[in-house]
Amino acid sequence: MIEVSKQDAVDGNVEVEATAPGTVGVVGAGRMGAAFAGNLIEDGLSVVVFDRDPARAEMAARGNAVASADWASLAACDVVISMVPDDEAAKEVAAHLSTVLGREAVHVSMSTISPDAAGALADLHRQHGQGYVSAPVLGNPDLAMARRLCVLAAGDGATLARCMPVFERLGQRVFQLGEQFGLANAFKLAGNVLTAATMQSMGEVLAFLRKAGIDQKAAFTVLTESLFDGKVHKAYGGKIVDERYAPPGMTVPLAVKDLRLALSHAEKVGAPMPVASIVRDRLVAVSARGWDALDWSALGKLAAFSAGL
């Protein structure tokens, strides 16, 4: 694995060019996609924002950016970023892009999808003479707006080099994970498993301490200012303590999907993940409570409920 930053943007013998693409497309104007578009627009890039919902595209586009619900509007793009919910949506996006993009254009999928889906997208674009990069991110919409995401990128060196000026405008660090596209997606799923397991543990511990008679905000302070001072402990533990489950950074159904994809790939490669299985069931229980619209940190809400709080 090579970490690529603005100071050292080199992939093997391929030096990353600093020139930004002429026109960048953003497909999917949800909270993450809108944050991507906003940062690129702010930096003066020519941006086309696509969403099936014209109103969402209009909200994400500012200044000279083009908002559209017509796939043909993306034809002039050099690089197109997509941020959509799942494998099927990603495949649909690739099917449309492959017919409208020019040869040599690059589709960058930043969605959380399965490694197998990433391979299928890459094959489709290759058949049309187009480039493909898997580049899911670690971080939430707030970090996206602040350009503090970590980008997990996989693809051939020359194509990654063309995308680096875009990645640098979206995140604080870029990790290059090789040419096998699915590796970036497997890493993203692993990150979400670890985040979910941490939230489950934080929820259980905070509920336990509340039942034991300790103020949970005081408990949170002690935990996160001692041995458990990681970003996930602080960010999501803070949501649990303050019961800030809306607006969601990621909804519960999407979290269930991510854990399902992780467990499916784990089975395929022969890696037992018993903790991930338990956390996936807890997320299903959150959904069963009718809390689908909440942030996935509602695992803490379920822990409190289970403890009679």
Instruction: Kindly state the tokens that stand for 105.
Output: 């254009």
Q: Does domain 185-306 have CATH number 2.40.280.10?
A: no
DSSP characters over 74-118 = GTT-SEEEE--SSHHHHHHHHHHHHHHSPTT-EEEE-S---HHHH
Query: First vs last Cα of the chain: how many Å apart?
Result: 45
Q: What pLDDT is recorded for position 115? A: 98
Q: What pLDDT is recorded for position 217? A: 95
Q: What pLDDT is recorded for position 62? A: 87
Q: What pLDDT is recorded for position 11? A: 39
Q: Which residues pair with 138 in a beta bridge?
A: 150
Q: What pLDDT is recorded for position 99? A: 97
pLDDT digits (tens, 9 = 90+) for 228-248: 999 999 999 999 999 999 999
Q: What pLDDT is recorded for position 22? A: 87
User: Are the C-beta atoms of residues 98 and 71 closer than 8 Å to each other?
Assistant: no
2-179 and 185-306: identical CATH topology: no
Domain parsing of the chain, residue ranges:
2-179, 185-306
d(CA 89, CA 117): 10
Q: What pLDDT is recorded for position 107? A: 98
Q: What pLDDT is recorded for position 21? A: 78
Q: What pLDDT is recorded for position 1? A: 42
117: CB partners within 8 A, 6+ apart: 87, 90, 91, 185
Q: What pLDDT is recorded for position 234? A: 96
Please compute Rg for the chain using Cα positions.
20
Could you tell me the fold of the domain covering 2-179?
Rossmann fold (3.40.50)
Q: What pLDDT is recorded for position 3? A: 44
- Spans of the chain, pLDDT less than 50: 1-18
